[in-house]
Structure 1
Amino acid sequence: MTPTHSSSLPSLLGVFGHPDDESLLAGGVLAQHAAAGAATAVVTAPWAPDSHRADELADALAILGAGKPRMLGLADARVPDSAPGRPRLCDAPLDEVVEGIVEHIRAVRPQVIITHDAYGQLTGHPDHVRTHQATVIAFHAAGLEHRYPQAGAPWRPAALYAATHPHSAVDTLGALLTAVGKKVLSVPDEHVTATVDVTVWSEQKMAAISARRSEAARERSLPGILARLSAPARESINATEFYTRLDAAPGPVGQRQLTV
């Protein structure tokens, strides 16, 4: 896949910790960019490509216009049989995880990459944290010709964003998560650098979330929580997505001391 420069929006690659995170956290933006003609794709770290969740992921990505699943095939930290015979994502050597992500970055050649924030996306799931760490490294390594030469020709994405949740926007969602015993790790509002209204794509986003049939049937999963809400309540949660830009623009050439 090559970058789509004719689109009014940049091409995207999402890198996420589970086969539902892309829909929950960035489904609106993925649908928005696909609708504008931009190339979009998603890399998912845990779960095996022949698992039931891979089939659900394929259905969700088709709804969002984000291509076919790209899976690293590692195991979920809390579901070891999600990838039989493979290490858990949080136990796999970091360098191997980074290389796997770099290979997909160089194959897709996106202008923008989206991943989890450093806190592990509200609940602090270890797979989210590990995916964040590996993606930040891969974002920089993908453009370096001497790093992972076997993973394809170098490609330097233009921007890296973390999907996140500001303190001011988690009242409803936070209450739903704490009611089932989950954490709520939001960030200060000033950490958010992009607030995207995805109301137009919220039904499409919810359809992708609902494609997670096995998760929607579970009481404590976020797809299950959202499935039990009224349509207006779901839309109030799904209609806005928040992102923090993580990459820094290069400073001026010729500096003789560190500046801010």
Structure 2
Amino acid sequence: MSPARPSPGRRLLLVHAHPDDETLTTGGTIARYTAEPDTGVTVVTCTLGEEGEVIPPELAELAPDRGDQLGGYRTRELDGALAALGGPDHRYLGGAGRWRDTGMVLAGHGTRAALPPDLHPRAFAAPAVFGTQLAQLLEIVDEVRPQVLVSYADDGGYGHPDHVRAHELTVAAAAARPDVVAKLYFTVRSAALLADGLAELLQACGGDPARTGLRWPEPDEHPGHDAAAVTTRLDVSAHDDARIAAMRAHATQIDVRTGDGWAAFAMSNTIVQPLLGVEEFVLHGADPEEIIETDLFEGVEP
């Protein structure tokens, strides 16, 4: 019997709600740290994304209101995306298919989301199952022993109930294991970073947004975090090719467009988003006026 492999000195665990979230919000971070020596990266996915909308017409029968086979298909997409990002360790919370994508309803302007009125019996965001889910996440934390945990901000970025639940679970897990978790981060994208990215994209397209083949956003149509609250900015531009490949792997959910010197993408709403070379975070409990980091493991002892 071969001896057990030693645990890496630096350990990062990211908790995401659906397949594709890992790539959209932290794809560069995953690729960066997976490539670094003595660093272990574990991605937890909480649902199979069964309630997602389907972009390619030829895959429309996978949708939840048709064949309801989208979740199984998205597991294959996730495998491809994680491989493109360097092949981090991966777990489904409670096992594949234990929790179902809750879905969402739009609430107000732009892409704000809210809890739907009728919940599936296995809905991830159902009120009564938090304790069971926390126990499942703590089991992973106890095995991996991550010094750094990452999930979403308290509004889930845009209000999706599954993102909010993932945030709540990750905060509770960090609080329950203060001897293990040294730092807790929330992935965000500031309105200022997005505005700069859109301006650069427009310039790269020669001032013609139609060149992207996607719809240009109206003012405030994309959710954006307060830049003054950001504590941590990671340069992930070296991993653009991996991120684009990972997005392409999520073909049911992400429409990727590239041109001469530019890359952009959209969800099913067709609203263009630039591929940003920086991923932003808020360090829980930190004062953003006193700390600007460029490494999630800054100050962490192996």
SS at match of 1:74: coil
Contact 2:19 2:49 in 1 (8 A): no
Partner residue of 1:138 out of 162, 173, 187: 173
Distance in 1, Cα, partners of 2:177 & 2:215? 36
Structure 1 counterpart of 2:76: 55
Contact 1:57 1:69 in 2 (8 A): no
Q: 1:242 to 1:177 in 2, by over 3 A?
A: farther
Cα deviations by residue, 1:175-216 (Å, 9 ceiling, x for unpaired): 979859x9633221111001111010111112112111222x
SS at match of 2:15: strand
Structure 2 counterpart of 1:124: 159
Contact 1:30 1:66 in 2 (8 A): yes
Q: 1:58 to 1:26 in 2, by over 3 A?
A: same
Structure 2 counterpart of 1:192: 230
Structure 2 counterpart of 1:151: none
SS at match of 1:170: helix
Per the normalisation by structure 2, the TM-score is 0.64
Please give the residue correspondences for 1:16-27 in structure 2 after superposition, counting only pairs within 5 Å.
Answer: 16-27=16-27
Q: 1:91 to 1:159 in 2, by over 3 A?
A: same
> 2:70 aligned with 1:32, yes or no?
no
Contact 1:54 1:69 in 2 (8 A): no
Partner residue of 2:188 out of 136, 154, 164: 164
Contact 1:74 1:86 in 2 (8 A): no
Q: Which residue identity is paired with 1:61?
A: L
SS at match of 2:90: coil
Per-residue deviation at 1:35? 0.9
Per-residue deviation at 1:167? 2.0
Partner residue of 1:228 out of 257, 261, 284: 257
Q: How many residues align?
A: 220
Which has more radius of gyration? 2
Structure 2 counterpart of 1:67: 89
Q: 1:134 to 1:203 in 2, by over 3 A?
A: same
- Identity among equivalent positions (%) equals 28
Structure 1 counterpart of 2:298: none
**Higher fraction of helix:** 1
Task: Name stretches of at least 5 consecutive residues in structure 1 with no aligned partner.
Answer: 80-84, 144-154, 216-222, 250-260
Across the aligned residues of Structure 1 and Structure 2, the Cα RMSD in angstroms comes to: 3.2
Distance in 2, Cα, partners of 1:110 & 1:214? 31
Q: 1:99 to 1:247 in 2, by over 3 A?
A: farther
Distance in 2, Cα, partners of 1:212 & 1:202? 16
Distance in 1, Cα, partners of 2:229 & 2:249? 31
Please give the residue correspondences for 1:196-215 in structure 2 after superposition, counting only pairs within 5 Å.
Answer: 196-215=234-253
Q: Which residue identity is paired with 2:141?
A: I
Task: Name stretches of at least 5 consecutive residues in structure 2 with no aligned partner.
Answer: 51-70, 105-119, 199-208, 266-273, 288-302
Cα deviations by residue, 1:196-243 (Å, 9 ceiling, x for unpaired): 11010111112112111222xxxxxxx22xx13546133952311000
Q: Which residue identity is paired with 2:166?
A: T
